[in-house]
Every structure is written in C-alpha cells, then in structure tokens.
Structure 1
Amino acid sequence: MKALLVFFLLSLTAGFAQNKTVPGIDASAIKTDSLPWDLNALSKAPAVEWLDQTGPVHSLLYQSADYEGKPTRVFAYYSNPDLIRGKATGKRTFPGVVLIHGGGGKAFKEWVEKWAADGYAAIAMDLAGKGADGQRLALAGPDQGDVDKFLKLEKAALKDMWTYQAVSSAILAHSLLRALPEVDASKTAVTGISWGGYLTCLVASLDNRFKAAAPVYGCGYYDESDIFKKPISQLSAGSRRKWMKFFDPSAYLPYAQPKFLFVNGNTDRFYNVIPYHKTYSLVSANQRTMCLIPNMAHGHEAGWIPHEIRYFFESVLNDGVPLVQVAPVVADDSTLRLAYQSPVSILTAEFHYSNDTTSLNEQRVWSKQQATVDPKTRTVTSPMPKEGFQYGFFYLKDHRNVSVSSPFLVN
C-alpha cells in the first residue's frame, strides 16, 4: 500500500525533466491501422524518482506502462560526460543514447559508464521488472522469460506481453533522456544487444525522434530463427499470426527513419543468415551500413565492444568522419567486385563464404580469402571461389581499425 501511495504521489509530477518541451513522435509516419502502442503518450517524459545522485552514475525509477491493470516503474542508470568526470552538470549539452540489454540482462552500469566517457548522456534500463539488487520491484512489469514473451499471448492482452512493455519502457526512457536539460534532443541514438537488438529494431522504427540506431545481433522474422521459431511454434496458429503482426520487427522496419548500423556475426546462434538478411533489407540501402564481423561472439560485453557503433553515431549525430560506404557487389564468372567510398584508406579486405546449407547457423563452416584493394579505382576484388558459394560477404577495415561489410550475398 505504501509503495502504491508513493507511486501515486510521484505520478502527479514528472519533476524537472518535464520542464523542457521537445517535439514528440510523428505517429502518422507509421502506416498501420493496428498499432498497439500510443506513441503520443509515450512521447511525454515520464514521472521520475532519483534514487542516488551522489556518484558518477545516477540511479532512478521512472513510470512506465500499466501492466495487468496496475502501474509500473522501471529501474535505470544514467550518466553524462560531466558526471562521469565528477563534475556538476553545467551548461554544456550532449548527444543522448538509450541502451537496451538482451535476454538475461539488466541495466548495466558499466555500459552507461562507457558511453558517458565517450561523450554521451546515456540511460540503461532494466526490462525484467528488477532493481539494482536483482530483486523484483514493488511495481514491476513482466519478467523476460518465454512465457511472458510468447506463450502468454494465448490468453493475455497485447498490453500485458513483454514486448509491449519493453518497447514502452525503452521509448519512455528516450522521452526522459530528451527532456533532461543537458541533453541535445536533436541528437539521440539507440543501441541494443540480442533481444535488445530486436527491441532496437522495433523502437527505432516506432520512435522517429532517434537519428541513429545500432541493433546488435537482433533482427526480425522470429518464426525463421534457429532458436526462436521453437517457442513461436508452440503457439496456436492464430496466436502465431498475432505475434508476428504486432511484435515482429518486420512489421515496422519499412517505416523506420533513423540511420541504421546493423552489427552481427556470420555464425550467431540466435540470429541466422536468412532472417537477418531479410530484416536489414527492409531498410533502404542508403539508410543503412552493414558491419558483419567474422565469427563474432554472442554476449552483452561482446555486443557493446565494437567501436564501430560509436564512430557511426558520431558520423550521424556530430558530423563525424563517416564509416566506409560500399556499393552492391558485382559478380561475373571469375571475379567479385565491390566499389567503396571512404575518407580513410582501407587497411585490409577479405571475402568470407560458405557452401554449408544444412548446419545450424552457429555450426556453419565458413572459408575466407584475401581480397585486393585498389585505392585508385576505390574497388575491392576477390576471385570467385572455385567451389562457388551459397552465402558470402566482404569484410573491410580502414586505418582507424573501423570495419564495415557488404550485406550477405545469398545465392
């Protein structure tokens, strides 16, 4: 009862964060008549309670969507470049980034530290209804197990599903971030890992206030995943169609407006070649950059280590030097050719390929061969593998050690 009273009083005022007026989401850009989220409501900064503002990373609770008819709060960490250096927040403004954890994850304090040190106001929230101590909050939303993500759909309302709640919480975190006086609301980005990458695809498609997005691993077409097609197959036919209609990123990515950096490996256990290829293909080629990292490990730390994400955000938000841009691969009987544009010269280039169509994605056998870089013509070439290939991609690194790739070539 006491927790409910505190939350009721908290919800009467959103604190200082709502004193700043910023534009909301343009909901008309999402051309569907069956959108379960109220994007206008999610555009407003939520009520917030700061739990600890004494250290370089602050902790807070903020109001999120009602769950099973009851109010909820979400735990999060926040920092910015002033705070991480032990300074009081001054008159400077910073770009902002929303950090979305994956399955089994939490609000990662160290992830916030990383981005604050890199020059960003950063917020990372817990999407399993837990606080800093890993215990369930008094006003918690759903946990992040398969029941709340999938099986519950047989009986539950859309608003009580984990995806609905997680998307709501991530967009509200963005609204809160944009309302903070030290955040430049015109320069915000989002990145997420695994299930957080899946959510990044959804959130960046629905929330067109973001200028840049970097989903790591996660993609759409969940009914074609080596792993996730299994819990989806346990649903009734009607519920399967319902899940894909409302909760699969493929339903919303065609409306996405931010610039995207798609980061994944070629042997990821959860997000395999074909659904991944279909997912990024929903975003126009001039709106996306690919970063397929050979044999990339799967995990939270592995997912936030690639510095390509920071370079990409800097190029979009702060007019930084862009990543290498590649044209579609041109193939003839003997040669694969890739044209590129880059302000930084290319250091290395490889072509990775596989003819293994029977193994699970994480067990697929890949080969690689060195490619030739011609800086005068700005082309990369590789001999056509003698045995041909079913899947392939070029992988390039420039002299900053920043990598990009071609999209997958699927024969």
Structure 2
Amino acid sequence: MGKNRPQMPYTGFRFLNPTLPMKRFLFLLLLSTTAGFAQKKTPPVIDARVIKVDSLLWDLKALSKAPAVEWLSQTGPVRSLLYKSVDYEGKPTQVFAYYSNPDLIRGKPVSKRKFPGVVLIHGGGGKAFKEWVEKWAADGYAAIAMDLAGKGEDGKRLAQSGPDQGEVDKFSKLEKAALRDLWTYQAVSGAILAHSLLLSFPEVDVTRTAVTGISWGGYLTCLVASLDNRFKAAAPVYGCAYYDESDVFKTSILKLSPSGQQKWMRYFDPSVYLPFAKPQFLFVNGNKDRFYNVVPYHKTYSLIPPKQRTMCLIPDMKHGHEAGWEPHEIRYFFESILNDGVPLADVGPVLATDSTLRLSYQSPVTVYTAEFYYSNDTTSVNENRVWSKQKATLDRNARTVTSPVPKEGFQYGFFYLKDHRNVSVSSPFLLKGN
C-alpha cells in the first residue's frame, strides 16, 4: 500500500478492492458472521446407477446441486428462506422452507461443530412446520422443513409456485399434462433439493443425514430415500407403496384411464424404487390407519431386506402431523445410525407352530413388556378393523417372546415390544398365508 494509505487490520478477508467503503465492508463482515450457514461446499452427487428402472424421471445429477437461496430471515432461532426448485409448466419455481440447527436454536454464535442433518416432509394439508424444525434442532440436528404446496410463511401462494397438493395435481392431471408437472415429481424434486441445500451448509456432516415424512410425506419419504442414496437413514410414517390397493387412494387411481393407471403406478408408486433404496429404514405406522392399510403396508416394507429395516407398528396410533412426529423411536433410530447411539431392539422372524408363536430378539436395553395383537376381521376397512391383544411371555435370559396362537386363530397379527427407555419396536405384520 502507499505510504499515506492507512493499513486495515487483518480480518481473514482478502481485499479485492482496497477502496471498498468501510461501512460496506462492516456490513459484509456482519453478514458473513451471522449467516454462517451460507453455502460453502459442494454436496456429494447421488449415485443414479444403482436405481435400475427402465426410465428414470428425475435428473438426479442436477438435483444433487445445491439450489440458489434467498434468505427471508437471518435472525432468531429458526430462519426462513426460499430456494429454487425445478420448472413447473415451463416456469421457474421457488420453495419456502424453515431451517435451524443446535447453535441457532440456543441463540449461540455460529460454531465450528458439525451436526447431523434431517429433512422433514409434511403430509396432505400440511406445510413447512416451524415447530417440527425447532424439535429436531433442539435434539441436535440441522433441520429443514419445506412447503410442498407452493405456499409461503403466510399460507398464500408464492409468486413462483409449483402445484398445490390437491387431487387434480396428484392424479387426474396425469391424463393431459407432462409427468414433470404432476405434484409427485415436483414434491420429490423439492425434497431432494432441500437435502442438497442442507448438505451444502458448512455445519452439516454430509455423511450423517436422514429424512422423515408423515402420511403423504411418508409416501414421499419412500420415494426420496430410494432415489437419494446420500441419506443414511429414513423413517416414513404411515406412508407406503401400492397405492392401487389403498382403502382410500385406490379410488383416485381407478378414476384414471387404464393407461393412466399404469403410468401413475410406473412412475409415481414407491414400489418401483424401494428395491434400490440404500438407507436404513424405520417403518412407523399404526395397525388401524385409515389411509395405509395392512396388506399394501406389509408389501411395502417387504421390499426392503430385513437387515435394512426396523418395524415400529404402534397399536391404535392416531393419524396426523403431530401424532406422526411424536414417536421418539424416530430420534432413537436416527441416533443409532448417525451418531453411533444405542440401537433399538432387533426383532427376528416369528416362528409359528400350530399352538405357539415365538420370536427371538437382541436388545442392549432390557425389554420389559411384550404383547401380541391380532384380528380376524376381514370385512371392515382398515380403520374400523377390530383387534384384540394378549400378553406375551418374555424370557429375558433366552431373549425370546412367545404367545399362544389365539383359540379363534387370527388373520392379521404382530408382536409389540417396549424396552426400559419406553422405546418400542414390533415384528412385521403376520398375515395368514404369508
């Protein structure tokens, strides 16, 4: 510098313009220190080679790139933003989202710590839930939740919005529109881009991310976790595949033309993609869910190898967003995969004789209750099916659970176990003839 030019104190920044006004410099310095979650690294690329379908609708290489971001709020424990998503009907779109992490939620300065990350996918009628992000940030995660209905924080449609989550955009639009203009394509793209954004943040450990979604978000989780093999863990709640067998959604499928039905199932049903999924799965559902009933649900998780899945069938579990993020089994499961936490109990296959049902298990925490739930009701829809239960016998030394076959027999059944953390797991559904 010239002799008469005052020397700036060293700040770690390189001055490309020595005449930069001091006020502007201080503003940029403040921005850099308060927005420590700005994009600073390139996310890993999804390995699309493992997804062996005839024609892959999504451009996974493009979706692996972190999208452009417009931060709406950079203060407070939860930040809000818009990020660029895929084009809809030939026009650019943005998605609204909330983001937080353990530093932000506690009001602490940006640290150099690395956090596991989680993507949160809402269900039908849902939105980007701020409180869901708060929950996971408080639990130690960098968390992002986005609105997949084209709306912003105020509930109004964005200027650059994609489709809403109504019946037409999910189903009947398929008969006339491009597949990329259907809600499922747009929602899956938006969720994968949210993951790519999360992976670009310097505080997120790219080797430790998970996804969970509720209802339609559980359906999306099955798709997203199958397509995006950068995730290490996934917890779909309620949602499953085989939509043409659902008590509810098969009606929408059957309204399509025969070719439309085939097209929807070929491109948008999770059963096409789940066989190629790489994350560890925790399947969470009730036994009486209105939308995701026993038979298609059983077929869905059976697409994932037993060593890659854990079952958590919760008796009489209610259906809803709050009920869907309430089970603490999801957090314990993610901790076991991402943070080397103590795993959930590992339940073996059920061995049946004419009189006895028996399973073995391994658990680092003592199992203290076990029950067998069963039903012979084959005429009611899933939510009205009548179930009974009986206490099962625990042999903690042998680590086995046994139950007599109910005198009246059963058409559907499952074992339900709880350990001393009040963390539950279950066997898969037992279906007569399976």
On whether the aligned pair clears a TM of 0.5, the verdict is yes
- Choose the corresponding residue for 1:77, options 95, 98, 103: 98
Amino acid at match of 1:312: F
Q: Which secondary structure does the structure 2 equivalent of 1:173 belong to?
A: helix
Give the Å deviation of 1:21.
2.2
- Choose the corresponding residue for 1:37, options 51, 54, 58: 58
Q: Quick one: distance in 1 between partners of 2:37 and 2:96?
A: 18
**1:11-410 equivalence runs, <5 A:** 17-410=38-431
Give the Å deviation of 1:398.
0.2
Deviations 1:215-273 (A, max 9, x none): 00000000000000011111000010000000000000000000000000000000000
Deviations 1:33-80 (A, max 9, x none): 311100000000000011001110000000001000000000000000
Q: Quick one: distance in 1 between partners of 2:242 and 2:252?
A: 13
Q: Quick one: distance in 1 between partners of 2:76 and 2:43?
A: 28
Amino acid at match of 1:126: D
Is residue 17–residue 176 contact of structure 1 (8 Å, CA) maintained in 2? no
Give the Å deviation of 1:89.
1.8
Runs of 4+ in 1 over 6 A off after TM superposition: none
Q: Quick one: distance in 2 between partners of 1:132 and 1:21?
A: 28
Amino acid at match of 2:297: Y
Amino acid at match of 1:334: S
Amino acid at match of 1:338: L
Q: Quick one: distance in 1 between partners of 2:110 and 2:322?
A: 28
| Root-mean-square deviation over aligned CA pairs | 0.9
Q: Which secondary structure does the structure 1 equivalent of 2:390 belong to?
A: strand
Change (3 A) 1:196 1:123: same
Q: Which secondary structure does the structure 1 equivalent of 2:92 belong to?
A: strand
Amino acid at match of 1:190: V
Is residue 82–residue 95 contact of structure 2 (8 Å, CA) maintained in 1? yes
Is residue 43–residue 64 contact of structure 2 (8 Å, CA) maintained in 1? no
Give the Å deviation of 1:334.
1.1
Q: Which secondary structure does the structure 1 equivalent of 2:135 belong to?
A: helix
Q: Any stretches of 5+ residues in structure 2 without a counterpart?
A: 1-35
TM-score, normalisation: structure 2 = 0.91
Is residue 372–residue 414 contact of structure 2 (8 Å, CA) maintained in 1? yes
Q: Which secondary structure does the structure 2 equivalent of 1:165 belong to?
A: helix
Q: Quick one: distance in 1 between partners of 2:428 and 2:113?
A: 38
Is residue 159–residue 165 contact of structure 1 (8 Å, CA) maintained in 2? yes
Amino acid at match of 1:149: K
Q: Which secondary structure does the structure 2 equivalent of 1:65 belong to?
A: strand
Q: Quick one: distance in 2 between partners of 1:91 and 1:298?
A: 39
Amino acid at match of 1:96: G
Is residue 391–residue 409 contact of structure 1 (8 Å, CA) maintained in 2? yes
Q: Any stretches of 5+ residues in structure 1 without a counterpart?
A: 1-14
Q: Which secondary structure does the structure 2 equivalent of 1:144 belong to?
A: coil
Give the Å deviation of 1:17.
4.5
Q: Quick one: distance in 2 between partners of 1:293 and 1:358?
A: 22
Change (3 A) 1:361 1:316: same
Is residue 330–residue 338 contact of structure 1 (8 Å, CA) maintained in 2? yes
Give the Å deviation of 1:333.
1.1
Amino acid at match of 2:52: K
Is residue 326–residue 406 contact of structure 1 (8 Å, CA) maintained in 2? yes
Q: Quick one: distance in 2 between partners of 1:190 and 1:215?
A: 8
Is residue 81–residue 117 contact of structure 1 (8 Å, CA) maintained in 2? yes
Q: Residue in 2 aligned with 1:4?
A: none
Give the Å deviation of 1:16.
7.5
Amino acid at match of 2:353: D
Q: Which secondary structure does the structure 2 equivalent of 1:138 belong to?
A: coil
Amino acid at match of 2:82: L
Give the Å deviation of 1:19.
3.0
- Counting aligned pairs with the same residue, the percent is 80
Q: Which secondary structure does the structure 1 equivalent of 2:187 belong to?
A: helix
Q: Quick one: distance in 2 between partners of 1:172 and 1:373?
A: 46
Amino acid at match of 1:388: G
Q: Quick one: distance in 1 between partners of 2:344 and 2:149?
A: 35
